[in-house]
Amino acid sequence: MINILRVEFFRLIKSKLFWIMLAICFAAPILLSLALVGLVSLIDAIGGTDSNNISYLLHTIGVTPLTLSELPNVSGNIFLLSLISSSVILSKEFTDGTMRNAILANKSRKQLFFAYLIVAIFIGIAYLLTYFISTLIFVLPIFGFNDLPAGDAATGFLCSLALGICAVVFVQTCVIMFLFSVRKQWATVLFPILITRFVPALFSIIVSIITVGEAFQGNTLSEAFISWMPFVNASLFNAAAVNGALVGKILLYYAIFSGVFIVSGYFTFEKADLK
Amino acid sequence: MADIMISTKNLCKTYNGKTVVNNVSIEIERGAIVGLVGQNGAGKTTLIRLLTGLVKPTSGTFSLLPSQERRDNDVAAIVERPSIYTNMSAMDNLTIQSKLLGIVVDKEYLKSTVRLVGLDPESNKKVKNYSLGMKQRLAIAMTLVGKPQLLLLDEPTNGLDPQGIFDMREIFVKLNKELGTTLLVSSHILSELSKFATEFYIMDRGSVLTRVTADELQNANGKRIRFKVDNLEAAKETLSQYGKTEAVSANELELYSETPITQAMLSLAQAGITVTNVVQLGDSLEDYYINIVRESRNNKGGTSL
């Protein structure tokens, strides 16, 4: 497996797409900070509103926790970038037929599957960490962390990072499942995008329908109920007020779904005839 | 006891109920250059794909290098199309292959391998801009990186020009002679295959019909010389002293003999027979193949060739 990893990391280093996407992940928090600072300056220049109030508002809303609270959400743009990057780079092995070289080199399908999974997760975590570090450098010093004590802020950071890594694993196992079961580039790109975009949206719609139904009966849908709804529960996560039970439920769902993706992708590939 | 490099036992592959490889049992010894002969759909490519592990057998077993522990670089193959990274240079492709095989990336050796197949190792041109022939050359270079003991080649000269075909044949023979590499080569170009293969497996409709060595093939067919003459009967009588003759048209006959052409021509001239054309028919593999397949199909009552 080590040799497959050496090959894939060599390819990754040579891939322009990987570096472009990584640069975007680094630039996104910078652009966010610049846009917000620019907005405050603009309002200040116009003189319509007290810029201190705007600054205070942005500070209170909590730009940093809001940014970090998005990390467990698989519909986030950061996951879209990592999904596209890994699926395009890795599926090239099937479109170029170079996957055969590994099989000819006596590598088992198990080694291939798990080596690719490791590379895909590496790509996702590299993007996530880049985004996370860039947020720490360019967002946190400007907007703060809701004046929370250092311990709470650290918990918020770590939990959002841990959940973000779980979301990466979910997204990348999904990519790998389609890569090894369909073995076509378009499917490896398209289907994970559809799953990460539409499945959470579908669960949100279900929750909305139930909420409306309950409202007609004069009831309110409890947060505890929503916290059990996969994907929707990720939107409840707040990095500034970490709820341990919620974090556990989010982790549980991502672990279950990732496991299903791994098992189905691996066993399909194990039996498949390759071109 | 012979050192077996490939051994298959009742190997079968079925796609949607259609058997494409049917009970194939073969054994290939170390150092052989084996030609796999058969028309399209005979099962050659599927057999090679089975041996490479790309497809799973429906039934039966096979083993590569059964008498030794197989290392990553012991077996190499080209199956149908070149397996190369199109957005990289030739040298990058060979570097990747070295990494995959777990061997030290020796730039000088890789450069010499690229040169050996007639490509420029200093060129940074991406492979996607290569012609089909250049891609095929690179694919062959990729197989050479690990100095394999066994090389499986499915139509390796596809897309190559005559010079390329000649060069590749030279490389294969050199590999066989110098490194003792065993080669299994499938090809449609039987005349090309017959120039370097030492034995042949003839396949039709998924089955191996027969195995024949180059020497056996030579003995089975003998050599033929075709003459175009002005007096067929007189020519037949004159040439009968050298071997069997057979009229193939009103003014053409074939002589089955090892006799040099010049000697036969001299006899005809001395008999006052004018010869307007003479051809040495050397493509005995093709004739042998046609006969074997035709015979097999007649026995099975199927469609003839």
The single residue listed with the structure tokens 């610049």 is: A34
At A53 the pLDDT is 66
Question: What confidence tier does A59 reach under pLDDT thresholds 50, 70, 90?
Answer: low
Distances (CA, A) of A172 to A81, A121, A130, B242: 11, 6, 17, 76
At B130 the pLDDT is 87
% of residues, chain A, pLDDT over 90? 38
% of residues, chain A, pLDDT over 70? 95
Q: Is B12 on the interface with A (CB under 8 A)?
A: no
Q: Which CATH number fits domain B4-218: 1.10.240.10, 3.10.20.30, 3.40.50.300, 3.40.50.720?
A: 3.40.50.300
At B177 the pLDDT is 86
Phi-psi category of residue B272: left, alpha or beta, with phi > 0 → left and psi -120 to 50 → alpha: left
Question: What confidence tier does A256 reach under pLDDT thresholds 50, 70, 90?
Answer: very high
Q: B75–A106: do the CB atoms touch at under 8 Å?
A: yes
Q: Which CATH architecture describes the domain B224-281?
A: 2-Layer Sandwich (3.30)
Structure tokens at B44: 């050659």
Question: What confidence tier does A5 reach under pLDDT thresholds 50, 70, 90?
Answer: very high
pLDDT digit string (tens) for B263-292?
889 999 999 999 999 887 755 677 777 777
Q: How many other CB atoms sit within 10 Å of the CB of residue A116? A: 26
Q: A274–B92: do the CB atoms touch at under 8 Å?
A: no
Q: Which residues of A touch B145 (CB under 8 A)?
A: none
Q: CB of B225 within 8 A of CB of B261? A: yes
Q: Is a pLDDT exceeding 80 seen at residue A148?
A: no
pLDDT digit string (tens) for B128-142?
888 888 888 898 889
Distances (CA, A) of A78 to A3, A50, A81, B24, B246: 29, 34, 5, 52, 80
Q: Give the separation between CA A57 and CA A52, rounded to whole angstroms.
A: 8
Do the bridges between strand B207-213 and strand B199-204 make them parallel or antiparallel, or are there none, so unpaired? antiparallel
Q: Which residues of B touch A275 (CB under 8 A)?
A: 54
Q: Choosing among B52, B73, B75, B96, which should be mutated to test the A contact, i.e. which has the most A CBs within 10 A?
A: B96
At A84 the pLDDT is 93
Q: Is a pLDDT exceeding 80 seen at residue B305?
A: no
pLDDT digit string (tens) for A150-175?
788 888 888 899 999 999 999 999 99
Q: How many other CB atoms sit within 10 Å of the CB of residue B210? A: 17
Structure tokens at A137: 């450098």
Query: Domain map of chain B by residue range?
Result: 4-218, 224-281
Q: A97–B100: do the CB atoms touch at under 8 Å?
A: no
pLDDT digit string (tens) for B181-224?
899 999 877 777 878 888 889 888 888 888 878 777 766 666 77
- In the predicted model, what is the mean pLDDT of chain B? 85
List the single range of A10-24, A51-65, B17-31, B170-184 with lowest mean pLDDT: A51-65
Q: Is B76 on the interface with A (CB under 8 A)?
A: yes
Q: Is a pLDDT exceeding 90 seen at residue A134?
A: yes
Structure tokens at B217: 């093939």
Question: What confidence tier does A87 reach under pLDDT thresholds 50, 70, 90?
Answer: very high
Query: Domain map of chain A by residue range?
Result: 2-271
Q: B52–A103: do the CB atoms touch at under 8 Å?
A: yes
At B159 the pLDDT is 75
Smallest CA–CA distance from B85 into chain A, residue: A96
Q: Is a pLDDT exceeding 80 seen at residue A61?
A: no
- For residue B85, which of A179, A7, A186, A122 has the smallest C-alpha distance? A7
% of residues, chain B, pLDDT over 70? 95
Q: Is a pLDDT exceeding 60 seen at residue B303?
A: no
Q: ipTM for the complex?
A: 0.78
Q: B84–A275: do the CB atoms touch at under 8 Å?
A: no
Q: Choosing among B69, B100, B158, which should be mutated to test the A contact, i.e. which has the most A CBs within 10 A?
A: B100
At B256 the pLDDT is 81
Q: Give the separation between CA A179 and CA A91, rounded to whole angstroms.
A: 6
Q: B100–A3: do the CB atoms touch at under 8 Å?
A: yes
Cα–Cα–Cα angle for A191, A187, A249, rounded to 5 degrees? 30
Q: Give the separation between CA B269 and CA B231, rounded to whole angstroms.
A: 12
Q: Choosing among A14, A92, A101, which should be mutated to test the B contact, i.e. which has the most B CBs within 10 A?
A: A101
Q: Give the separation between CA B268 and CA B150, rounded to whole angstroms.
A: 50
| Residues sharing a CB contact under 8 Å with residue B254, sequence separation 6 or more, in sequence order | B224, B225, B226, B227, B245, B246, B248, B281
Q: Which residues of B touch A273 (CB under 8 A)?
A: 49, 54-56
Q: Which residues of A touch B71 (CB under 8 A)?
A: 106
Q: B70–A106: do the CB atoms touch at under 8 Å?
A: yes
pLDDT digit string (tens) for B36-49?
988 888 889 999 99
Q: Give the separation between CA B63 and CA B47, rounded to whole angstroms.
A: 13
Q: How many other CB atoms sit within 10 Å of the CB of residue A101? A: 25
Q: Which residues of A touch B54 (CB under 8 A)?
A: 100, 103, 273-275
At A47 the pLDDT is 66
Q: Give the separation between CA B95 and CA B121, rounded to whole angstroms.
A: 12
**Burial class of B16 by CB neighbour count within 10 A (0 to 12, 13 to 18, 19+):** exposed
Q: B71–A106: do the CB atoms touch at under 8 Å?
A: yes
Q: Is A10 on the interface with B (CB under 8 A)?
A: yes
Q: Is a pLDDT exceeding 70 seen at residue A193?
A: yes
In total, the C-beta contacts within 8 angstroms joining chain A to chain B are: 71
**SS3 for B64?**
strand
Question: What confidence tier does A238 reach under pLDDT thresholds 50, 70, 90?
Answer: confident
